[in-house]
Each structure stands twice: as structure tokens, then as C-alpha cells.
Chains A and B, each alone.
Chain A
């Protein structure tokens, strides 16, 4: 596993990832994540790992296609930026696993494998439930958020609204559940956009990363500004 030379800039609000690839070195990224690159880098789109694995990634909310960036005979730089304004993190896998929330994956180095994992029917149908990507292997993985990312060291038990989970270590146990006494915001709009005020209860020891904003409430907020249909 060769070391990856990378740097984050503009954190936490408008984070950008710059990777300096050595000749022949590769990085794999979510389609449309590439913002700019030097011409010495070759980009190839494809179904990395065959269609079965690609399907797993799709279930995890990521695209079927994974783009591969390879440096040619000379070193080169490639920059990645995610869709939403927000933060970025890297995590170095050492033969362990990391779970990523739907849409949080940005890029990974060789040696990392991604597969879809589904947090159960309840989570799935609620719309904001846990549809997770599981990253295994050894190497660097990059993920992004909407808003800033806060790292929480869970030592006993911790509760996170499912919509705000970015990633967590697999040493943690998790359970998606309704929180007694907590009524979800804006019931009617939640019905339209999914989400039932579910929380994820973590237990054990490990890290969980949460984002400080969530796009669904923003969508609910924009909803009343939509034009009304003319009845004719």
C-alpha cells in the first residue's frame, strides 16, 4: 500500500480535496466528483469490480459507475469536490470496516473495497433510514458531508438522528429506532420527503462522524416556494 499524497482546502464549508498521484498511482472516485485535473492524469469510467459490486454500491446510494484516475509517466494533480457545500474527511482503513451513509462517499485509494449494506426494511422505507456503504480493506477512503463534520468518540452509548450520520466505525453496534417522545418536524412534509424522526442508537466503542446540516429539512423548507399548478 503506497502512501497517498493529498490535501484538503477550504474546510469546513467549501472543502476541496487535492490528490498528487505518483506515476502509475491510482485513485477511484464517485462520478462527477472530479473538479479539475492535470492533463497527465488519465480518467477512465467503468463498472469497477463488476456489475454485482456496482449494484451493491447503487443500493448504498452511490452511482453504478466509478471513475478511475491514473497518473501517467509523470506525477499529476487531481481535485475532487462533492455536490453539497460542506466538509470532508479521510479515514485510513487497516483491514477493518467503515460504514458510510448514503451519498457520503467521495473517493478511495486502491486496496479499499466498497459494498452496499442495507440497514433493514424499516430504515429503507422511511426514506432517511440507513442505507449504508461498507468500506473494507486497507487504504485511504474519503467522504464528505453537507455542513461541517463533527467527530464523536463513542465510549458507551450515543444517539444520532439518522439523517445526520456521515460515517461510523464497524466496532460500533447500531440500531435504527424511533426515539420515545420525539415527534418529527413538519409531519406533512416529512410524509412527502420521507423520514419519520428515526434515530440511530450506537453502542460499544468507536468513532461516529455527524454532519451539522441535513438536506431534507432544506427541501421541506423550499417546498412552499414551488409554483402552484394552474387548474385548467
Chain B
């Protein structure tokens, strides 16, 4: 599969070229355009029905779209354009057997070699910071496409590193993490607008985004009519 990222960095899209029988799984609604030789399937989990209803339901409660789109080329040389909702960049992470934990709305697509599990609850405590987030666990060997709100930057964590939960895109699970308060006191942390942060330790790759989607939503929301 050939992967090109176009229109970087603010309005990035992924252009994928699939050989016959290759499959890509993406977030529903990510398809922008495609050639006609692609078969589309929507499932609640793995292609071919694996994962099933229960996993799908769990995923829904985790906040993710209940469904996944799978595009399979039925002819050689098929192209597919995928894009996220927010303005920002796209980056490709190649997995060779490890595990990558992806912030739910940053997971754009992954190829057939990647097992995705959105029921991972390791960072469930992030909910307490008022940011309803879910996380997707990607494992196996293949490509994962990550999208960010704003620019994306990589940090090679070798010691301790602190990131606001809203700025995390993805991280390798060789990193340990702890939800912590940003300041010395809990009240001070909230007054400072930082709420809870993620404190990483160990060694591994961490992807961060320059902008924080929940902050943007909190800025826009009050200007809109009450629902």
C-alpha cells in the first residue's frame, strides 16, 4: 500500500493506493473520494464480523463511532482519499509488533495487519478531567494513520514527560503513564486551567498535537444555542 500525505500541514489528507485485495480500515466518515474498484464494508468491529456486537457496543460507550469502514480493492491500483474532521496534520506510524495507544479522535485509519481495540481503559481516569476521551489500542505489524488538531510533533521520551491529556495524539506502550495534577495542589491545577495531565515515564515515542480539541469545543460551545 502506498501512502502519501497531501496538503500538509493544516488541511492534510491521506492518499492511499491499494493493490488488489488490500484492505484499509478507517473511521466512518473519513472517506472523501475514491476510485470505483473498491468494495466498502461497514462493521462494528473487525472486517468479516470478528469483534462483533459486544465489542462494538463497548466501543460506542467509549465514545467512538459504533462502526468502522473497510475498503478493499477489487481491482489493481485503486486510490482512496481519507481526511479527518478537524483542521490539522496527518502522520503515519509504522508498527512492527509493538502496541500504540491512540487518542480516539486521532485514529484515522490502519491497515489489515493492525488489530484495533477501542475498549482499552488504561487512561479511563482521564474522564475525571472533564474531557470525555476514549483510546484505541493498535497492535500488530502495519501502518496506522494518525490525525491531529493543529500541528503534530514527536517526543522521544527518555525520562519523565508531562502532557495535558487534550494534547496527546498517541504513544507507544513501552511508556508508563500516570494521571496527575499539573500543579502542586489539586485546586491550583484546576484554577490554572490545566486540570489533569498525563505524566509519562520510561522510553518510547509520544505524538502530541499543538491544539487541544476539548478547549476549542469549550470555547465554541457556549456561543451556540442550548440544545
Q: B95 to chain A: which residues have CB within 8 Å?
A: none
Q: B87 to chain A: which residues have CB within 8 Å?
A: 13, 85, 147, 213
* Chain B residue, CB-CB nearest to A86: B11
Chain A: number of interface residues, binned into ranges? 35 or more
Quick one: which of A156, A157, A185, A213 contacts B65, CB cutoff 8 A?
A185
Does chain B have a CB within 8 A of A55?
no
Encoded as 1 (CB less than 8 Å from any B CB) or 0, chain A from 195 to 232 comes to 00100010000000010111001101111111111100
Once the chains bind, are A212 and B226 in contact (CB under 8 Å)? no
Count B-side interface residues using an 8 Å CB cutoff: 37
Bound-state Cα–Cα, A161 to B33, Å: 6
Bound-state Cα–Cα, A152 to B36, Å: 14
Once the chains bind, are B29 and A164 in contact (CB under 8 Å)? no
Q: Which of A172-197 contact B (CB under 8 A)?
A: 179-186, 197
Encoded as 1 (CB less than 8 Å from any A CB) or 0, chain B from 66 to 81 comes to 0101000000000001
Bound-state Cα–Cα, A113 to B220, Å: 38
Q: A159 to chain B: which residues have CB within 8 Å?
A: 33-36
Bound-state Cα–Cα, A147 to B226, Å: 28
Q: B193 to chain A: which residues have CB within 8 Å?
A: none
Question: Which 9 A-B pairs rank lowest in CB-CB distance, beginning with the nearest?
Answer: A185-B29, A225-B221, A148-B7, A147-B11, A225-B217, A181-B40, A183-B42, A13-B10, A148-B11
Residues of B whose CB lies within 8 Å of any CB of A are: 6-7, 10-13, 27-29, 31-36, 39-42, 65, 67, 69, 81, 83, 85-87, 213, 217-218, 220-222, 224-227
